[in-house]
Amino acid sequence: MQDIIEGVLKFQRDVVPGRAELFQRLATTQHPGALFVTCSDARVIPELMTQREPGDLFVIRNAGNMVPAFAPGPGGESATVEYAVAVLGVTDIVICGHSDCGAMTAISTGKCLDDVPAVAEWLRNADAAKTVNAAGTYSSPGEKLGSLIRENVISQLANIATHPSVALAVKQGRLKLHGWVYDIETGGVETFDHTTRGFAPLSDNAYAPATPTRLGQFV
């Protein structure tokens, strides 16, 4: 904890004075261009990997970069998605999975989760990806895990497309969806291309369409 406190003091002393104009502007307004949905994993830092400034990204972080399908009733992810799209007017949503994901590893290996029932229930949001992944054949556990990580990104794109604010904005051409997988070791990013139903390096396929003509085509 001492390191965290010292970091805050260093931020206040060394960073804020030099960025005073930025923080003054952000004190009363925000205009993020994108909603970035990614894992809570401490190794995945959205602003670092995208080189964005404070205020540029509206972020959801949770175990396994999940977005439950829309359902009546309150929910943190649902409320955040709705606010980002309907109020803040983000123009892009990124669902970003990552290598060595603990949530996906637990599913891929069939780990017993009896001692963490909340985690077990939360991972049910990846059931579609789990089912698709289980039907495949793999040469190694690592290949199976990598496939599940990618299938989960596709599954969460399908889930977020069920949210009314998202469906409307996509239909009206105000919003695009993107599916990414981030490699922690290399910094590489793969992006989902709806037309090929596969992933390709972002550097070669930067504007691949993850948003289909009809949202139902995700599944």
Count of domains forming the chain: 2
Same structural domain, 54 and 5: no
Distance CA 40, CA 119 (A): 13
pLDDT given at position 194: 84
Distance CA 211, CA 161 (A): 9
pLDDT given at position 216: 54
* pLDDT > 90 fraction of the chain, expressed in percent and rounded: 88
Same structural domain, 79 and 126: yes
Global confidence as pTM: 0.92
pLDDT given at position 211: 62
pLDDT given at position 20: 95
Q: Which residues contact 20 (CB under 8 A, 6 or more apart)?
A: none
Q: For all residues of the chain together, what is the average pLDDT?
A: 93
Q: Is the pLDDT of residue 133 over 80?
A: yes
| CATH, residue 136 | 3.40.1050.10
pLDDT given at position 12: 95
Q: Is the pLDDT of residue 86 over 80?
A: yes
Same structural domain, 54 and 18: no
Same structural domain, 66 and 104: yes
- What is the span of the domain harbouring residue 5? 1-29
Q: What angle do CA 172, 173, 178 make, to 5 degrees?
A: 130
Distance CA 197, CA 65 (A): 20
pLDDT given at position 213: 44
Q: Is the pLDDT of residue 219 over 80?
A: no
Same structural domain, 55 and 154: yes
